[in-house]
Amino acid sequence: DAKTTQPPSMDCAEGRAANLPCNHSTISGNEYVYWYRQIHSQGPQYIIHGLKNNETNEMASLIITEDRKSSTLILPHATLRDTAVYYCIVRTRYNFNKFYFGSGTKLNVKP
Amino acid sequence: KAGVTQTPRYLIKTRGQQVTLSCSPISGHRSVSWYQQTPGQGLQFLFEYFSETQRNKGNFPGRFSGRQFSNSRSEMNVSTLELGDSALYLCASSLAQQGSTYEQYFGPGTRLTVT
């Protein structure tokens, strides 16, 4: 599976949009991009995933570049409860459920 | 629908002992994966079970093993515990059916401390 690169930490003001980047320059055609987050000492929580097109759900939006080498997770109105470590993962649909998590980005939402 | 449950939530063991952790997946989910999380190594994949068969394995020694029962519940076992096995052990379940997108849903984890 392709590996990902994320900034170790980011700050965001409460109520503003949080834009979390992820680089996955070695992604291949059948690999999906998944985003999870982990609030301190809890199990990771699924946020969103995509293959080529931009995706949106009730939690976030996922923007994938046309060449698919990078993506951005957008939390439109960050709250203090969004403070967490955010993981960007790429995995092939055919490698079942073996996720490589990487180091993630610690998002600090500040009042 | 109930989420993934793991028991026990906390455990303290002594070096050399063995331990068994349990995971009950979301109803209808047939795939169960296990991960180890430590401050130094982060989240690392241990293995995945589907329909009682291990179909994916990470880079861990043979002291780490698992199994899955016919009701999809899973257990993992660590024998001859070492101090470095102290970690949060996470279980994740997935629908893993043809046409599904394989998102995993994680349990709260079991915090294992080896002294």
In tens, the pLDDT along A27-40 reads 888 788 999 999 98
pLDDT in the model for residue B103 = 81
Beta carbons of A30 and A42 less than 8 angstroms apart: no
Q: What is the mean pLDDT of residues B59-88?
A: 96
pLDDT in the model for residue A104 = 94
Going B6 to B7 to B8 to B13, the CA torsion angle's sign is negative
Identify the band that residue A94 occupies on the pLDDT scale cut at 50, 70 and 90. Answer: low
Contacts 24+ apart (CB under 8 A), B68-74: B68/B32, B72/B25, B72/B29, B72/B30, B72/B32, B73/B22, B73/B23, B73/B24, B73/B25, B73/B32, B74/B22, B74/B23, B74/B25, B74/B32, B74/B34, B74/B49
Tell me the helices (H) and strands (E) count for chain A, helix number first. 0, 9
pLDDT in the model for residue B40 = 85
Identify the band that residue B1 occupies on the pLDDT scale cut at 50, 70 and 90. Answer: low
Amino acid identity, position A6:
Q
Distance (Å, whole) CA B91 – CA B21: 10
Least confident window among A84-88, A90-94, B2-6, B25-29:
A90-94
- B36 touches A at CB < 8 Å: no
Per CB-CB distance under 8 Å, the chain A contacts of B56 are: 95-98
With CB atoms and an 8 Å threshold, state whether A44 touches B106. yes
